[in-house]
Amino acid sequence: MIIIDPEYQKDKKVFVTLACTFRYGRDDHELIGLSFKKELYFLHCQVYPPLPEDKKPLTPLQEKLSKKLGVNAFPFCFNMTTDLPCSVTLQPGPEDTGKKCGVDFEVKGFWADNVEEKISRKNSVQLIIRKVQFAPEATGTASCVQTTRQFMMSDKPLQVEVSLDKEIYYHGEPVGIKLKINNNTSKIVKKIKITVEQLTDVVLYSLDKYTKIVCCEEINETVAANANFSGSYSLTPLLANNKEKRGLALDGKLKHGDTNLASSTILRPGMDKEVLGMLVSYKVRVSLVVARGGILGDLTSSDVSVELPFTLMHPKPSPDQTNIEDVVIEEFARQKLQGAEGEDDKDDA
């Protein structure tokens, strides 16, 4: 819904646009002619005067807003394609300036003679929205990976098996990990380290890759030569424990209280990766430090690692969670904007 002041609007038309934009780089790069910004998707509609062909039934939420806001509130609706990326932001470092890198969705309302006209912020209002994707109800089998490592001077190999208790995890949910080690060698497993890693691939303008450890646990267990070991562990990847990490992918901005680690990117057959801008995935890595016994054993140590991918997403809301009776409408007074007609304020709304 958008509220229009007929006296201020006069004979102008009112439009609303929806834009999905990928940004990779700082604002000062654009000043020297290097633009790392691409509009991935754009929709627009004329809200006032209403067009008969665009008239649609009101949703329950729009009906409630219409009663609350009065006759000068006009509805609009956009149907986005399913191939668009979800909202994602790369967390900047303390020295980084300018807008954050990532994919965002902006709804803009403005009055003008036509939708192509250059719009001043004095004549417009912007709202950043978030697009999220919910986990599918049907899930696959839990991941399980086995690896075998043969060492010199050992007749039999080291066997490692790692499994997860399921394929899809929700934000804030612990990741259950089972570990089995059959050490049939003459060496000793001196250290076990389990990490959950977030991987972000930037597929527009660059091929940058970010790998960030979002939770870690070191197990003080040794597995002697010709011995077996098994254990179960639980790690919970949370944004609260990683707020200072630069390059971490989030599903919003850090200042928002409901922001989480970015959800896994779901690639469907036939999708163009470049349209997504960034690809986010997660994996569990189990690393063993294997060495000979004795004082000099650490000098000849080697690592044995096993990796398992998993999916991190939001659960699908239940009907009770989407009750429109819980919607709260607040009114804000907009500050007077400075500048002459046609000037564009570059600050965030």
Task: Tell me which of 335 and 41 has the higher pLDDT.
Answer: 41
The rounded distance, in Å, linking the Cα atoms of 262 and 252 is 8
The arithmetic mean of pLDDT across residues 226-245, rounded, is: 91
> What integer pLDDT is reported at residue 272 of this predicted model?
75
Structural contact between residues 342 and 330, judged by C-beta atoms closer than 8 angstroms: no
Other Cβ atoms closer than 10 A to 335: 6
The rounded distance, in Å, linking the Cα atoms of 295 and 284 is 32
343 pLDDT tier (thresholds 50, 70, 90): very low
The arithmetic mean of pLDDT across residues 51-72, rounded, is: 84
The rounded distance, in Å, linking the Cα atoms of 246 and 265 is 20
The rounded distance, in Å, linking the Cα atoms of 201 and 276 is 10
Query: Residues 274, 125, 255, 257: is their CA dihedral positive or negative?
Result: negative
Residues in CB range of 209: below 8 A, 6 or more apart: 199, 200, 201, 202
317 pLDDT tier (thresholds 50, 70, 90): confident
pLDDT, tens only, 75-102: 888 888 888 888 898 887 656 555 678 8
Instruction: Take residue 18 and report the two structure tokens written for it.
Output: 């929806």
pLDDT, tens only, 186-202: 889 999 999 999 999 88
The rounded distance, in Å, linking the Cα atoms of 298 and 26 is 45
Q: Which domains does the chain have, with CATH numbers?
A: 2-134+319-326 (2.60.40.840), 144-238+274-313 (2.60.40.640)
336 pLDDT tier (thresholds 50, 70, 90): very low
pTM tops 0.85: no
> What integer pLDDT is reported at residue 260 of this predicted model?
87
> What integer pLDDT is reported at residue 337 of this predicted model?
46
> What integer pLDDT is reported at residue 321 of this predicted model?
57
pLDDT, tens only, 274-306: 778 889 999 999 999 988 765 555 556 788 999
The rounded distance, in Å, linking the Cα atoms of 259 and 243 is 11
Q: Strand pairing partners for 138? A: none
Instruction: Take residue 8 and report the two structure tokens written for it.
Output: 């201020």
The rounded distance, in Å, linking the Cα atoms of 202 and 96 is 18
Instruction: Take residue 119 and report the two structure tokens written for it.
Output: 């719009």
Worst-scoring range by mean pLDDT, 51-65, 235-249, 313-327? 313-327
3-state SS string over the chain? CEECCHHHHCCCEEEEEEEEEEECCCHHHHHCCCCCEEEEEEEEEEEECCCHHHCCCCCHHHHHHHHHHCCCEECCCCCCCCCCCCCEEECCCCCCCCCCEEEEEEEEEEEECCCCCCCCHHHEEEEEECCCCECCCCCCCCCEEEEEECCCCCCCCEEEEEEECCCEEECCCCEEEEEEEEECCCCEEEEEEEEEEEEEEECCCCCCEEEEEEEEEEECCCECCCEEEEEEEEECCCHHHCCCCCCCEECCCCCCCCCCECCCCCCCCCCCHHHHCEEEEEEEEEEEEEECCCCCHHHHCEEEEEEEEEEEEECCCCHHHHCHHHCCCCCCCCCCCCCCCCCCCCCCC
